[in-house]
Structure 1
Amino acid sequence: MLSLVCITYDGIKALVTYDKDGSINKNSGLYGLGTAIGQPLDGIFSVICLENLRPYVGEFMPNDPQRGLDLSKPRLPNGETMAGFIGFAVNMIHIDDTNLFHLTNDGNGLRETIFYTLFSRLQVYKL
């Protein structure tokens, strides 16, 4: 499965162009790029637009160069953190420095948009 992430909706519109009859123009956009490098695309692909995701609105972990999200640890009814809890998967993703500060027009990065959407509730435990 091929999935792409675009920062803006305009980026998505540039991926595919259509002929006058409504069919996909295989000589332009992503299809044209695939053909040009000898890897033609067949079928469909999904696209996620960061601009359209509801971002994390809380604080970031202090002094964290990776800008981890300051999420509350899960607690048992007695208030204790569950045994073996390591953290949230969204904060365990290492984002390369060149991509760490790619921001949407609203100033949101990859961690607080796509990774938060996908992994915000995924908890990691040590057995």
Structure 2
Amino acid sequence: MHGTVMNRLCKSGHTKKALSLLRLMEQENTKSDVYKYNIVIDALGKDANLDAAINLMNEMKQKGIPLDVVTYSSLIDDLCKLGQWEKVRTLFSEMVDLNIYPNVNTFNILIDGLCKEMKSRCRGSNEAHG
């Protein structure tokens, strides 16, 4: 039930409330899992609060909550949109090193991001020569 409420909060633009619910669950020793963390990580990234999303991912690691392909794909998507390709490469490598294999969604995110990056570079190059 917590996950459903958190998901609804995030989708309606209340990411901070969802994060507060996650914190409350932890204080009450309610088991938090990768699904609940992924909801908040994804929402933080969509809110362009990538530092908080990465901090939450690191918190998961410290607590021994296993990350999954959804965790990594969500962060990779946000990093691609910001053009932070070195961080994308680092996260992708970390994911594979941990035997968390990219899925179709992960590759779609990467292809979309790279195509947009190339389009942006080509447009910039054309404007410089036009």
Which structure has the greater CA radius of gyration?
Answer: 1
Q: Shorter chain as normaliser: what TM range?
A: under 0.3
TM-score, normalised with respect to structure 1: 0.24
Is the helix fraction higher in 1 or 2?
Answer: 2
Is the strand fraction higher in 1 or 2?
Answer: 1
